[in-house]
Chain A
Amino acid sequence: MAEISDSPPESRPVEENTQTQITDSISELDSKTMRKTKPGVKRLIMTLTVLVSFILLSPLLLKSIEIYRAPLPFDEIDSFSSKIESNRLLFPCGFRAIFVGFNFRVSNYEVGEVIRSKMSELSLGGSRCGCSNDYSVSAVLDLADAEVNAVDFGGKLRENDEEADEMVKRLVNVYGEEKVYSVVVVNGEEEVKAVVGKYRHAWILGKVSEEDAVVRVAEIFSKVFVNGGSKDGLIHNEFMPVGADGRIVLSFSLLNTDPQDWVYDWDFSEIDEALLQPVIQALQPIADVTVESQVLYHTPKASFSYWDDEHGSHIFTAQDLPFFVNSNEWHLDTSVAAGGRSKVLQLVVFHVPSTKSCPTSPWLFGACPRLTDLGPSKSIILQACIRYIPSAKECPLQLELPNGDLSKTNGFISPMWGGVVVWNPQSCIKDVESKDLVRHKISPQDLQKLFEVLMGQIRQLLGLKSDDLYVGESGTSTLLGSERGFTEWELDFLSRKHFCFNLLSCATTLKSLSKLVQSLPRMIIMDEIGKQVTFSLEAAKSAQINASVGMYDASAVSSRQSRTLAEDAFFHPSIMSISYYSFEHCFAIYSPFFLPVIMHILLAALREWKRYKQENRKYLAWKAKAKAAS
């Protein structure tokens, strides 16, 4: 092989030789500086061809070792997320104020304008979510036909809030659309009373001046209807405890700290059917809610409490709360049924362990020096003893608020995790004599009470107020509760927030996905991810369009969809597997071949090029000489 390939180049030098011999004979020639013949380009062309073909083939090679990446709409993602971040996600909201028995000297329009300006004042800076700032406020002064007597009407409204609510609803419906938030102000002689109803209206009764009325109406509009009655607005409330797949699992656990003392059980399926189902129905547009419950035993808390004489109970303070939940012993468990990325909200009823009554242990007698000082009452004696029990036997257990008061609900929430209620049994003394296990059932009344607290916690977790009073700058209003747990205006508020939260989280997810994909050039991206991203963007767009025309349900659905799709794309199983065929690997495999070969080719091409230039110069020199000679 070598000989064959060698032979053709050989012929040329021989030829050259003969030529040079001939030229030598013609004229003496310095072979170092001149040559007569034109330098051959055969070798130069050959090496250059090889080099060029290598260069041309390298893209092909790169293409062959490329990994599949579905094209993602990076630009669209960027523009979408920047748009979401800069723009506000707002719904158009309508407001109407109805004044009965007032004598304004200005037109309806002007009153509306006054309320509007007051509202803008109150919603300082505005938030990114909620109602758009150009509130459309219409005011109705007096009832044109005076068919409703202010005094009569006021008197009726004063009697029963529930009935009044329905009455106001009828009155408001006279003015058309239901989606508009209304406040009815009825002038009267009695003291002022403000009530926010179950639907989308409120009423104010009593002796109010025109100016006051306007201020109060504006406050109810902007603070209650727009902001859901929470005082600090929406600053930290941009989180919704809804899973990426739009589901919430409410996991109720009853914790019996020490079953040796007593065991409490509950009949949760009753609560579930009777009380929770309406709530779940009400929350349907926001999330699919599923409920499950369990009873756990041997679950001590992780923080310490101390005995407080003043309150006659054990106290744990607000500082202890971060340590209260004992994740080692509380096997609350995520739900297998939920699967995927549903949000599990833990609602825990913490059951306080009993106190062993003193006579059981002689040691306790000895350790109670004030036993006799404390008087005849048995309960006092026992409590005195409790102070000396160093173990976790603590009953009753109370939560002390930072201001020194005891918590009424005796519970607390942890945002995005759930809530805990400490429940003290009625009597803290265990019957020592009975050895057998007594399984107490929490009575329906207690369960009802407990459920109210838990319901308040759920409301708080969703970002609503848990109590029924709104204390504003201009006065206090009563918030009427609904049997469904959430009133209509609260659901509106939740929908707005949910929509906003979904779009925000969708934007951040997509943004981080695009960042991730761009930062890892050797990551495989399936077509499915690309599809999910485009669909997510489309859903987000349609959600925004729906929101701009005030379609609550449709926007909530498509915003949820956009978030789900974005999360699906981000958590796609294939995205986790970064290609094993990393760049280092590729380099290691190809370099043993390409590195030496490319060096050879480059050097050869360089040499040939140099030589050709040199020879050409010689030839030119000879030519010039020949020319000169001729």
Chain B
Amino acid sequence: MALASTTTLALSILFLLPFLSSATVEEEFHEELLLKPLPDRKVLAHFHFQTEAPVAEDSFARHHHLFPKSISQLVKKFHIKAMELSFTQGRWNYERWGGLDPISSQNAKPPGVELWAVFDVPQHQVDAFWKNLTHSLSGLFCASINFLESSSSYSAPKWASQSALGSLRYGTLPREAVCTENLTPWLKLLPCRDKAGLSALMDRPSIYRSFYHSQRLHLKASMAPADGLDSGIILEQTLTVVQQPNIQKTDLSFSNEFKIQPSWSLSSIFGRKVNGRCVLAKSSNVYLQVERDLVAQLEKLQKKTATYADNDTGIDVLRGDLGFEVSITPDRVHRELEKSSSILYEYSIKEYNDTEQFDLGLTWKYPVVWSCPLAPLYASRFLIGSGNERGSIAISLKSTELTKGFIVANNVEEKCKLQVNVLQIVPWYIKVYYHTLQLLVDGKPQAATDFIERMSVSPSEDKVSTGVMELVLRFPCEIKSAILNIEFDKGFLHIDEYPPDANQGFDIPSAIISFPDFHAGLQFSDDSISKSPMMSKLQEKSPVLSYTEVLLVPLTTPDFSMPYNVITITCTVFALYFGSLLNVLRRRVGEEERLLKANKAPFLQQVINKLSSRFRGGLSESTQPKQPSSSFITPKLIIKIILVAGLAVVWQFYLK
């Protein structure tokens, strides 16, 4: 198992990050916003706030100037080394919005709540600290994070991080609804809250109207200054929103309105403008990113439409001659190092205030079609099978454009391999049979051992722990598709373990697929840009990571009133039996008959008495053989009738 200890799984990126900013002597705050047009007529807005604080011996978690007190106290109390909490609504569309860039690898999160934390405590205490942390966080963020407390809802992935082996806990709540009550406490951690600066753009209706929004809180503390690193705590808060701008009907020179990308501005996306920076921020910048493919397409278009002799693209870009126009001249323009590179416009909002508001707008001149760089394999997950007993989970990986490029790039080598790491966590009531793991490569079943390099499985224990499966797969580069299939039985829950609205089904959290050979990261030559926390984050070499869909498994749900019904009906049957037994015990048959004989009852009553006595048993029959009225109702007849009825029933139900 420990063959390739260098390979790291999904979450490893989060721990292997190089430490930011060399010296954190004072508490600092940065605010940044990245805007990016997406191919499917949408716009990505990515807010990034970073607060840093030095960890002094005694004043940490007690005296703060910018850093939120509650977070530092949390770090101190629970000995948190690193933590990430995300609230997401909607699903990141990896096919359209890209899967290779840093934003999609770092900020695309599974729906609902995702929390992981690394603790700096001995192994046996980690669970206790995790439980307390979930409670504190749920209080802090007005969310039901405390449901992650029970050991059957979180897990400890083994290979996710080499450094934090055993002290990492990971849990998700796919069904958590995210709304303003989670955003407000998140904003409260910012020194300016949403009163000033870029966060003032966060108009609640337009954020929650978006196609995808993910609010994330990443915490990283390094307490020990001994190991050559700075002791400091970095709180990173990001909000990623994908929105469809309203189409501005200003420029209708093109006949087909729907083919052209919609022009947008900050005010059309958020309904607000930036009224100036948060004065407490050390840097407050807005970036506009134009993707590689888009730049390439635009340049191609440009060449077609007009011939430019000179190659002075820098000025072109500044003027906005690149197929679109920006309403404000950028302060700086950065180009990526590579040949086909993306362009980054930088705006500093220091100079803007109430009277002169910042409202960046983008107007397209030509219709343009481009695509985002995709992850090497497009991952999706689905359920197979029907019924309430069993089924199977299938994870399908399909090759994308990038894989072809990868082959070309690595063509020289003999064996080109593509490494894929899979982390799948299943709740205990999905009883996975790990031996049924099947692998279909390019549609043909293959021996799983040929492709699986390493595999770690910790089976679930009923009502105690979740099942975790970690796989390291190595596929040949020319692979077209691969399907991992694993069967499971659906378990039964105890009646009080069902959540409200149990008939809706149960969620299986997203699987995490990562590609350690690929790195998401932009490369800019400019040193000045590295000073910005967001840009240095985007330039980090982190493995490409994607989440699959959340699966909804319908489980057998009982009729919740059933226990009571059962109790009632059994009790009634018992009571009937008991009562009739008692009645029979104290019946005086002989006496009754004597009485019957003595007083000549009217005919009707006689019949009733007769019938009732007959139902009590055939005993009295022998004593009254001369009754003319009941002569035709003999026990034989009754037996015959019952026999016929019984036959009919048997015929009806069994012999049909």
Tell me the A residues contacting B by CB distance below 8 Å: 2-3, 5-6, 9-10, 12-14, 16-17, 31, 43, 46-47, 50, 259-260, 263, 265, 268-269, 272, 290-295, 297-298, 331, 333, 335-337, 339, 435, 437, 588-590, 592-593, 595-597, 600-601, 604, 607-608
A336: contacting residue among B73, B276, B619, CB under 8 A: B73
Nearest-Cβ distance from residue A465 to partner chain B, whole angstroms? 29
The contact sample of 25 A-B pairs, CB cut-off 8 A, is A5-B584, A13-B589, A13-B591, A265-B65, A269-B59, A269-B63, A292-B61, A293-B64, A294-B64, A298-B195, A336-B73, A336-B140, A337-B62, A337-B77, A435-B350, A437-B279, A589-B567, A592-B571, A593-B575, A595-B575, A597-B578, A600-B575, A600-B579, A600-B583, A604-B583
A293: contacting residue among B63, B572, B574, B587, CB under 8 A: B63
Query: With a CB–CB cut-off of 8 A, which chain B residues contact A265?
Result: 65
Query: With a CB–CB cut-off of 8 A, which chain B residues contact A5?
Result: 581, 584-585
Nearest-Cβ distance from residue A341 to partner chain B, whole angstroms? 15
Q: A259-B280, A297-B280, A592-B575 are in contact. Are A17 and B77 (CB under 8 A)?
A: no
Flag if B192 contacts A297 (CB, 8 Å).
yes
A593: contacting residue among B69, B278, B574, CB under 8 A: B574
Flag if A259 contacts B59 (CB, 8 Å).
no
Interface size of B by CB at 8 A reads 55
Flag if B617 contacts A6 (CB, 8 Å).
yes
Instruction: Tell yes or no: B308 within 8 A of A by CB.
Output: no
Complex Cα–Cα for A48 and B363 (A): 98
Flag if B586 contacts A43 (CB, 8 Å).
yes
Query: With a CB–CB cut-off of 8 A, which chain B residues contact A607?
Result: 586
Residues of B65-85 whose CB lies within 8 A of A: 65-66, 69-70, 73-74, 76-77
Flag if A272 contacts B571 (CB, 8 Å).
no
Complex Cα–Cα for A437 and B276 (A): 13
Query: With a CB–CB cut-off of 8 A, which chain A residues contact B74?
Result: 336
Complex Cα–Cα for A604 and B140 (A): 66
B66, B69, B579, B589 interface centre (most CB from chain A within 10 Å): B69
Instruction: Tell yes or no: B582 within 8 A of A by CB.
Output: yes
Majority SS at the chain B contact face: helix
Instruction: Tell yes or no: B600 within 8 A of A by CB.
Output: no
Residues of B252-289 whose CB lies within 8 A of A: 276, 278-280
Q: A263-B279, A298-B193 given. 12 additional CB < 8 A pairs?
A: A12-B590, A13-B588, A17-B594, A47-B582, A50-B582, A268-B63, A293-B62, A293-B64, A294-B69, A298-B192, A435-B350, A596-B576
Residues of B555-613 whose CB lies within 8 A of A: 564, 567-568, 571-572, 574-576, 578-579, 581-591, 594, 598
Q: Which 4 A-B pairs have the closest CB atoms?
A: A13-B590, A593-B571, A592-B571, A596-B575
Nearest-Cβ distance from residue B149 to partner chain A, whole angstroms? 14
Nearest-Cβ distance from residue B434 to partner chain A, whole angstroms? 38
Nearest-Cβ distance from residue A495 to partner chain B, whole angstroms? 27
Nearest-Cβ distance from residue B90 to partner chain A, whole angstroms? 29
Complex Cα–Cα for A272 and B63 (A): 9
Instruction: Tell yes or no: B188 within 8 A of A by CB.
Output: yes
Closest to B194 in A: A298
Flag if B61 contacts A337 (CB, 8 Å).
yes
Complex Cα–Cα for A589 and B77 (A): 48
Nearest-Cβ distance from residue A613 to partner chain B, whole angstroms? 15
Flag if B617 contacts A3 (CB, 8 Å).
yes
Instruction: Tell yes or no: B202 within 8 A of A by CB.
Output: no
Complex Cα–Cα for A293 and B276 (A): 28
Closest to A42 in B: B586
Query: With a CB–CB cut-off of 8 A, which chain B residues contact A269?
Result: 56, 58-59, 62-63
Flag if B590 contacts A6 (CB, 8 Å).
no
Nearest-Cβ distance from residue A361 to partner chain B, whole angstroms? 9
Instruction: Tell yes or no: B136 within 8 A of A by CB.
Output: yes
Closest to B569 in A: A592
Complex Cα–Cα for A290 and B172 (A): 36
Query: With a CB–CB cut-off of 8 A, which chain B residues contact A263?
Result: 279-280
Instruction: Tell yes or no: B191 within 8 A of A by CB.
Output: yes
Instruction: Tell yes or no: B196 within 8 A of A by CB.
Output: yes
Flag if A331 contacts B590 (CB, 8 Å).
no
A6: contacting residue among B62, B584, B594, CB under 8 A: B584
Flag if B590 contacts A14 (CB, 8 Å).
yes
Residues of B157-207 whose CB lies within 8 A of A: 188, 191-193, 195-196
Complex Cα–Cα for A601 and B598 (A): 30
Complex Cα–Cα for A263 and B281 (A): 12
Closest to A332 in B: B69
Closest to A580 in B: B496
A331: contacting residue among B77, B188, B582, CB under 8 A: B188
Q: A3-B619, A10-B619, A291-B62 are in contact. Are A592 and B568 (CB under 8 A)?
A: yes
Complex Cα–Cα for A97 and B568 (A): 84
Nearest-Cβ distance from residue A281 to partner chain B, whole angstroms? 16
Complex Cα–Cα for A53 and B582 (A): 14
Q: A260-B279, A437-B279 are in contact. Are A298 and B568 (CB under 8 A)?
A: no
Query: With a CB–CB cut-off of 8 A, which chain B residues contact A298?
Result: 192-193, 195-196
Complex Cα–Cα for A34 and B528 (A): 123
Complex Cα–Cα for A596 and B578 (A): 9
Flag if B587 contacts A6 (CB, 8 Å).
yes
Q: A259-B192, A297-B280 are in contact. Are A2 and B617 (CB under 8 A)?
A: yes
B351, B586, B588 interface centre (most CB from chain A within 10 Å): B586
Closest to B132 in A: A339
Nearest-Cβ distance from residue B323 to partner chain A, whole angstroms? 35
Flag if A292 contacts B588 (CB, 8 Å).
no
Query: With a CB–CB cut-off of 8 A, which chain A residues contact B584?
Result: 2, 5-6, 9
Complex Cα–Cα for A604 and B588 (A): 13
Closest to A293 in B: B63
Flag if B588 contacts A337 (CB, 8 Å).
no
Nearest-Cβ distance from residue B282 to partner chain A, whole angstroms? 10
Complex Cα–Cα for A31 and B616 (A): 26
Residues of B512-536 whose CB lies within 8 A of A: none
Query: With a CB–CB cut-off of 8 A, which chain A residues contact B192?
Result: 259, 297-298
Query: With a CB–CB cut-off of 8 A, which chain B residues contact A335?
Result: 69, 73
Query: With a CB–CB cut-off of 8 A, which chain B residues contact A47?
Result: 582, 586
Query: With a CB–CB cut-off of 8 A, which chain B residues contact A16?
Result: 590-591
Nearest-Cβ distance from residue B28 to partner chain A, whole angstroms? 12
A43: contacting residue among B140, B585, B616, CB under 8 A: B585
Flag if B578 contacts A337 (CB, 8 Å).
no
Complex Cα–Cα for A604 and B619 (A): 22
Closest to A13 in B: B590
Flag if B70 contacts A10 (CB, 8 Å).
no
Flag if A10 contacts B73 (CB, 8 Å).
no
Query: With a CB–CB cut-off of 8 A, which chain B residues contact A259?
Result: 192, 196, 278-280
Complex Cα–Cα for A293 and B584 (A): 84
Flag if B586 contacts A9 (CB, 8 Å).
yes
Query: With a CB–CB cut-off of 8 A, which chain A residues contact B564?
Result: 588-589
Complex Cα–Cα for A291 and B350 (A): 36
Complex Cα–Cα for A435 and B279 (A): 10
Nearest-Cβ distance from residue B354 to partner chain A, whole angstroms? 9
Query: With a CB–CB cut-off of 8 A, which chain B residues contact A292?
Result: 61-63, 69, 73
Flag if B575 contacts A336 (CB, 8 Å).
no
Closest to A259 in B: B279
Complex Cα–Cα for A260 and B192 (A): 10
Nearest-Cβ distance from residue A299 to partner chain B, whole angstroms? 9
Query: With a CB–CB cut-off of 8 A, which chain A residues contact B617?
Result: 2-3, 6
Nearest-Cβ distance from residue B499 to partner chain A, whole angstroms? 17
Nearest-Cβ distance from residue A158 to partner chain B, whole angstroms? 44
Flag if A592 contacts B572 (CB, 8 Å).
yes
Query: With a CB–CB cut-off of 8 A, which chain B residues contact A293?
Result: 62-64
Nearest-Cβ distance from residue A37 to partner chain B, whole angstroms? 13
B65, B278, B579, B584 interface centre (most CB from chain A within 10 Å): B65
Query: With a CB–CB cut-off of 8 A, which chain A residues contact B587?
Result: 6, 9
Flag if B582 contacts A601 (CB, 8 Å).
yes
Complex Cα–Cα for A291 and B617 (A): 89
Flag if A9 contacts B572 (CB, 8 Å).
no
Complex Cα–Cα for A378 and B594 (A): 127
Query: With a CB–CB cut-off of 8 A, which chain A residues contact B581?
Result: 5
Query: With a CB–CB cut-off of 8 A, which chain B residues contact A268?
Result: 63
